[in-house]
Each structure stands twice: as C-alpha cells, then as structure tokens.
Amino acid sequence: MFSTRLRNLEEEMGADFGVFAGWSMPMSYGSYLDEHMAVRSSAAFFDLSHMGRLMVTGKKEEFEYLVAKAIGSTEAGKMVGPTAFLTDKGTFVDDVMIYVLGESSWLVVTNAVNREKVASWIKRNSGLEVEDLTMEYAMVAVQGRRVWEFTDKVEIEPLSFKKGIKYMGIETFLLSRSGWTGEDGVEIWARPEEMELLLRKLRTNGIKPAGLIARDSLRQEMGFVLYGEDIDETVNPLEARYWVFSLEKEFLGRNALVQALRTGVTKIRVGLKLKKGERVIPRRDSKIMVEDQEIGVVTSSTYSPYLTRVIGMGYVKSSHLFLGYSSKVEVRGRRIEAKLTDFPLV
Amino acid sequence: MEKRTKYLIVNDRLYTDSDEWVKVEKDVLIVGITDYAQKKLRDIIGVDLPKPNTQVRKGDPIAVVESVKAAADIYSPVDGTITEVNERLVESPELLNKDPYGEGWIFKIKPSGPLANLLTPENYMKKIGE
C-alpha cells in the first residue's frame, strides 16, 4: 500500500482516508458534497500524488507510434490529451495526458492503477527509456470557478505548462493549466516539502481541501471516464465515445479502430439521469432495462450535488442508444426510471 | 451525552454489533445508526424506510441507508412491530450525518420479546476499536 508524502498534513487537515488503486488517499474532509460545491462555486485543492508520472525519452517516431493522438506539431510547453495508449485490438491500455518537454522527451500522466503496466508496456513496445517520477514529486490540482480570486493568476493558456516557476511564492517543478473537474485551475508538481508549504498557503487563503469522492462526482457530471470503471482493455474509444485518437497518423491499435469504424460497434457509452427525488445509487453492473429487455449496464454512478439528483454512465447496446428516453435501472430488485442522455450531464 | 472518542457514543443507549443504537422509551425502542456508522458511510443521500405496522424478526434487514460509498442494511435489534418511521429522512437524509442520535432516528419498534445481546456503551466502544 502506498501513502502520499502529504499524508501528515492531510491528517492534520482532517482527511478521512480510503484505499484507491493501491494507495491510501484522502476520500473526503468531512463532506464530499461541500467539497464538490466548493469547486463549482469557488475553489478546492486535491492531492493527486497517486497518479503515475513517467518521464519518457527517445525517438519521437517511436513515441508517436504508441500515442493514439497526433503529437507531431505540438510544441514544447503544451499538453496533448486526453489521449490513450491502445492495444493492437484498439482497446485501452490507459488514457493519459502527455506533457511535451522537447523533441525527444515527454512526461506521461497515467491512471494510478496503470502506472507499472504502462511503464512496462512502453518498454515492451519500443526502445524508449522510461523513468518513474511518481514518488519524487507530489502532485496537486487546484480547481474552481473562482480559483484566481484565491490564488495567483497564472499566465498560461489552457493545456499549456511551465517548468521551474514560482506559484504563490513556492518553487514548483511543473505547473499546467489543466484539471479534470470541468472548472478552471492548475495542476502542480513539486517536491513534497515545497508542496506542503503551498497547501498551507492555499488553506490560509480560504481554499478547501477536497478528496477523491468529490473528484469522482465532479468528473461524472462532466461525463469523463475513469479507467477500471468505465474503460479498460475490453473497451475501445469508439464504444466509449472518447475521441482520443487521430486516424491521419499511424499508431498502435489504429487498424483495429479503422476496422471497428467500418463494421460499427455493439455497445456505446451513455449518460444516465435518475428521476429527481430518487435517492438510490445504482452500483457498478446494475442492469439498464427497456421494456423488460436488458440493454446495458451501469459503470459509474453517484449523487450529483450540483444537479441534486443521481447520475451515472454505462454502456448500452448500440441498437438501443435511445438518447432522451426514460429507461429503467435495476437497483436491489426495483426498477427505477433513468433517462439516457448525452454528456456532459451538467 | 459524552464525547469520549473521535466517534460520539451516547450513554443512554444500547448498541448492536451492526452499528445501530437503541433507545428505550416507555414500551417502544427508538432505533438509528451510530456516529461511527454514519462517518464510515460518509455523505448519506437516501434512505429506504420500512413500513409501519410490519412485524419483523431480530436481525432482519428492514431499512437501507444509501451513501456514495455503499448501500448499508439496517437490522432490527429485536423481534417486534414497527410502530413509526422517520419520514423526514426521505427528504432530508443528511439528518443521519448531522444528528445521528437525534433528528436522524430511523424507526420505532414495539418489542415482542426481551432485549438480548445488545451492547453497553463501553462494550460498543470496545467493538469499534476505540
């Protein structure tokens, strides 16, 4: 079990810990509902030090062949993503964000659960060098609609980053204008001791700490997928409607995707909105039903504090992608009305 | 009421192994979930309540508390008949988080047999490892 280097501070701030992807992480600091709404209405910060961070170096052509999205013209200081590493069947090895450092070096942010898998997958499929920086740097996201009222304004374009700059007077290794909540903000990599100083400053400035439960409800409102829940090695980007590839270039898994485009797919990812007032959360693998027919399964679900209703996502048969139709989800033997919707859900 | 640990354990109650509290009030028992249980479940977003006038057996799952983390069964602490349920929880399930021993009570039950195998506050404290 891994523990983040910010754990002592998080305990001091009242974190309630739980296990995620082999890491003991702050799940919430009392109420995820408050933390979620803090991001939607003001700002909050999340410890993301569990996310895999790999430095990859070597020949650009080799790296480009592994990445499903074109990175050819992306200049240093820009991010590519979300994109993905795919299997030769076109399914997800992982979905990743890539920081372009230069002509022959890239930083890859993986899902926590896939850190080691991705590192060995890159080495197995290329001559590229991989160095794991995950334990070296803490990573934090500061996110929120009013984030710049509480923090320094960052003069960086969305999905761009800078290395070695000071933020709130603290030395960072890397700072990017990115996040995974649907709100503005930054993601920061810094040495753990520097990060601790930064978090104390953010706290003093009135920014709440938030845990992984709020991060999960924020991403579900936006319709963002989570590896291991909504995508994995059995799902391809067409089924997930996750546009992480550029067919104009060659990449591992491309042939399978072109083939799937020709033949079509049998299942498609869809959003779910339960009727207001229904206060049950369909757990993973709950059935989605239309007229007594099982048309799919739920992969993620939560209570949305912003919409004050239960939301979710799942896969339905592509022949039954009845967007806007009230289907049913089965929860503890009860069938509950759930509208099939597009993303985002907010 | 006394705060002796990071979880509130109230002295005028008895407790179950499955984290319900029981308060004896004349000939009925008031039942809810403990502070420990609500903290473990985290934000509670819904409750399925039993129907009044239902006869239940000790250990029957008779209500469900729904949180983002899990759907948790609430068990009857005795044999008996449900006399009343806390309808306010339907609209305001967060009362279970805010006031688990007070406004967050779940149901009242008239026991048809003796109270057995319930834990004292001290024993409940030991049970949750505090």
pLDDT tier, B129 (very low <50, low <70, confident <90, very high otherwise): confident
Residues in chain A, overall count: 346
The whole-number average pLDDT for the span A56-67 is 97
Candidates A279, A286, A334: best to mutate against B (most CBs of B within 10 A) is A279
Do strands A52-57 and A129-132 pair parallel, antiparallel, or not at all (unpaired)?
antiparallel
Backbone angles phi, psi at A201, to 5 degrees: -65, -45
A333 touches chain B (CB under 8 A): no
* Cα A26–chain centre separation: 17
ipTM: 0.87
Is B72 inside any structural domain?
yes
CB within 8 Å: A217 and B68: yes
The whole-number average pLDDT for the span A134-140 is 98
Residues of the domain holding B61:
13-113
Chain B nearest C-alpha distance from A320 (Å): 28
pLDDT tier, B2 (very low <50, low <70, confident <90, very high otherwise): very low
* β-bridge partners, A64: none
Could you tell me which residues come within 8 angstroms of residue A48 by beta carbon, excluding any fewer than 6 positions away?
A139, A140, A141, A187
Q: List C-alpha distances in Å: A294 to A114, A287, A323, A330, B129.
A: 31, 6, 16, 10, 44
The CATH number of whichever domain residue B52 belongs to comes to 2.40.50.100
Is B65 inside any structural domain?
yes
The beta-carbon neighbor of A33 closest among B43, B64, B90 is B43
The whole-number average pLDDT for the span A134-148 is 98
Chain B CB contacts of A307 below 8 Å: none
Candidates B41, B43, B94: best to mutate against A (most CBs of A within 10 A) is B43
Is B106 inside any structural domain?
yes
Chain B CB contacts of A303 below 8 Å: 43, 45-46, 68
Is B120 inside any structural domain?
no
Q: Which A residues 212-231 touch B at CB under 8 Å?
A: 213, 217
Distance in angstroms (rounded) separating the CA atoms of residues A340 and A312: 10
Is B37 inside any structural domain?
yes
CB within 8 Å: A280 and B48: yes
Return the half-sphere exposure (C-beta side, CA atoms, 13 A cut-off) of residue A69: 19
Chain B CB contacts of A283 below 8 Å: 71
Per-residue pLDDT tens digits for A42-55: 999 999 999 999 99
CB within 8 Å: A280 and B47: no
Question: What does the block give as tokens for A21?
Answer: 């992807």
CB within 8 Å: A279 and B39: no
Per-residue pLDDT tens digits for A165-181: 999 999 999 999 999 99
The beta-carbon neighbor of A213 closest among B47, B68, B71 is B68
Distance in angstroms (rounded) separating the CA atoms of residues A302 and B60: 27
Secondary structure string (H, E, C) spanning chain A: CEECCCHHHHHHCCCEEEEECCEEEEEECCCHHHHHHHHHHCCEEEECCCCEEEEEECCHHHHHHHECCCCCCCCCCEEEEEEEEECCCCCEEEEEEEEECCCCEEEEEECHHHHHHHHHHHHHHCCCEEEECCCCCEEEEEECCCHHHHCCCCCCCCCEEEECCEECCEECCEEECCCCCCCCEEEEEECHHHHHHHHHHHHHCCCEEECHHHHHHHHHHHCCCCECCCECCCCCHHHHCCCCCCCCCCCCCHHHHHHHHHHCCCEEEEEEEECCCCCCCCCCCCEEEECCEEEEEEEEEEEECCCCEEEEEEEEEHHHCCCCCEEEEEECCEEEEEEEECCCCC
Is B121 inside any structural domain?
no
Please, are residues A68 and A161 in contact by the beta-carbon 8 Å criterion? no
The whole-number average pLDDT for the span A132-139 is 98
Question: What does the block give as tokens for A189?
Answer: 């990599």
Q: Which residue has the tokens 């207001």?
A: A276
Per-residue pLDDT tens digits for A316-328: 999 999 999 999 9
Residue A72 burial by Cβ neighbours in a 10 Å radius (0-12, 13-18, 19+): exposed
The pLDDT, as a whole number, for residue A158 is: 96
The whole-number average pLDDT for the span A20-24 is 97
Closest CA to A306 of A191, A212, A198, A183: A183
The pLDDT, as a whole number, for residue B9 is: 96
pLDDT tier, B118 (very low <50, low <70, confident <90, very high otherwise): very high
pLDDT tier, A186 (very low <50, low <70, confident <90, very high otherwise): very high
Mean pLDDT of chain A: 97
CB within 8 Å: B71 and A16: no
The pLDDT, as a whole number, for residue A115 is: 98
The pLDDT, as a whole number, for residue A185 is: 98
Whole-angstrom Cα Rg for chain B: 13
B71 touches chain A (CB under 8 A): yes
Q: Which helix (H) or strand (E) holds B47?
A: strand B44-48
Per-residue pLDDT tens digits for B11-53: 999 999 999 999 999 999 999 999 999 999 999 999 999 999 9
Is B79 inside any structural domain?
yes
Secondary structure string (H, E, C) spanning A159-205: CEEEECCEECCEECCEEECCCCCCCCEEEEEECHHHHHHHHHHHHHC
Tell me how many domains chain B contains: 1
Is B34 inside any structural domain?
yes
Query: What global pTM score does this model have?
Result: 0.94
The pLDDT, as a whole number, for residue B113 is: 83
A29 pLDDT above the threshold of 60: yes
The whole-number average pLDDT for the span A295-302 is 98
Mean pLDDT of chain B: 94
Chain B nearest C-alpha distance from A182 (Å): 21
Question: What does the block give as tokens for A159?
Answer: 């999905």
Q: Which residue has the tokens 């009392």?
A: A30
B70 pLDDT above the threshold of 80: yes
Per-residue pLDDT tens digits for A90-117: 999 999 999 999 999 999 999 999 999 9
